[in-house]
């Protein structure tokens, strides 16, 4: 869960001390369940160069100042979605946020908002994972298809319909940006809706009807009040808020037309 610092690699990327002139104060919200009753802020003075990300600042703290600091990270290049945290109150990927932008005032780093804190900057993501599983985030064939029938064909136009929503990296920044999720964690939330929509809109998929039950439900899309901040913070321009709101329209259509339309004809967004 929390990757050990890899000192070998660090030696290569860490600038020689003589090059470093500037230090920046980084305030980190610490929470060590065995000793803290509630989270507390701790400030570290971190030497930095202009090319250092916030994540690299945290790695410096872990390697040289306090090895007990816990945080998640993996790819360092904004594709794994592991290092989301609040930087000065804004949900951010710490690997693509730079220390120099906060110099000299410094910055405050907290665990992603709206999730329980496991330890320091590590959140409990069980709820997100369970929701992710529940929407069947994979293509459900319309009819069983034999291998001998070959691959599915999809035109570029058919792909364009869902491509944007397939860029989600499950970083959960949108959940940290969504007050409705913070107020009621039963709400399906933005990122999961983006993925649900991605599969519903796929010309190869036939699973929309199964997925729409959650969309229509009391935990579904109508908990959204169109704050829009989810789409604002998304590092991959997925626009999860749009996925939620497109499905409000779809859900409302189904709500009123289900008695006049044959079942299944209006489940999921129009393809």
Between the alpha carbon of residue 20 and those of residues 16, 46, 139, 155, the distances in Å are 7, 10, 51, 53
Look at residues 74, 69, 199 and name the one whose alpha carbon lies nearest to residue 132: 199
Residue 168 interacts with other proteins (CB under 8 A)?
A: no
Binds other proteins (CB under 8 A): choice among 196, 214, 234, 238:
214
Q: Which stretch binds other proteins (CB under 8 A): 5-13, 50-58, 137-145, 212-220?
A: 212-220
- Count of CA atoms in the C-beta half-sphere (13 A) of 145: 14
- Say if residue 103 is exposed, middle or buried (CB neighbours under 10 Å; 0-12, 13-18, 19+): middle
Shortest CB 195 distance to other proteins, Å: 15
Q: Which of 96/248 has CB closer to other proteins?
A: 248
For 34, residues 6+ apart whose C-beta sits below 8 A from its C-beta are none
Q: Which of 46/269 has CB closer to other proteins?
A: 269
Residue 120 interacts with other proteins (CB under 8 A)?
A: no
Residue 33 interacts with other proteins (CB under 8 A)?
A: yes
Q: Which stretch binds other proteins (CB under 8 A): 34-42, 94-102, 141-149, 259-267?
A: 34-42
Binds other proteins (CB under 8 A): choice among 185, 203, 204, 209:
185
> Tokens in use for 176?
């940290």
Q: How many residues bind other proteins (CB under 8 A)?
A: 51
C-alpha–C-alpha distance, residues 138 and 210, integer Å: 12
Report the 10 Å Cβ neighbour count for 253.
14
C-alpha–C-alpha distance, residues 117 and 7, integer Å: 27
The residue ranges that bind other proteins (CB under 8 A) are 31, 33-34, 38-39, 89-90, 113-114, 116-118, 124, 126-127, 130-131, 134, 179, 182-183, 185-186, 188, 213-214, 216-220, 222, 225-229, 231-232, 239, 241-242, 245-246, 248-249, 251-252, 255-256, 269
């Amino acid at each position: 869960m929390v990757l050990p610092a890899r000192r070998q690699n660090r030696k290569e990327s860490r600038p020689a001390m003589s090059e470093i002139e500037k230090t920046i104060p980084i305030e980190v919200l610490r929470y060590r369940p065995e000793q803290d009753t509630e989270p507390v802020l701790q400030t570290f003075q971190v030497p930095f160069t202009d090319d250092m990300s916030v994540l690299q600042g945290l790695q410096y703290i872990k390697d040289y100042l306090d090895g007990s600091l816990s945080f998640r990270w993996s790819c360092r290049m904004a594709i794994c979605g592991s290092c989301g945290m609040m930087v000065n109150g804004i949900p951010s990927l710490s690997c693509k946020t730079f220390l120099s932008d906060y110099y000299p005032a410094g910055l405050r780093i907290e665990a992603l908002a709206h999730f329980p804190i496991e330890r320091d900057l590590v959140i409990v993501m069980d709820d997100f994972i369970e929701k992710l599983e529940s929407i069947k985030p994979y293509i459900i064939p319309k009819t069983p298809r034999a291998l001998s029938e070959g691959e599915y064909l999809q035109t570029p136009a058919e792909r364009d319909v869902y491509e944007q929503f397939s860029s989600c990296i499950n970083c959960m920044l949108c959940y940290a940006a969504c007050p409705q999720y913070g107020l009621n964690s039963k709400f399906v939330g933005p990122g999961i809706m983006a993925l649900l929509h991605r599969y519903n809109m796929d010309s190869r998929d036939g699973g929309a009807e199964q997925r729409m039950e959650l969309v229509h439900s009391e935990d579904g899309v109508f908990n959204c009040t169109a704050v829009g901040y989810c789409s604002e913070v998304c590092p991959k321009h997925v626009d999860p808020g749009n996925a939620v709101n497109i499905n409000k329209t779809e859900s409302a259509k189904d709500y009123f037309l289900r008695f006049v339309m044959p079942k299944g004809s209006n489940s999921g967004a129009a393809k």
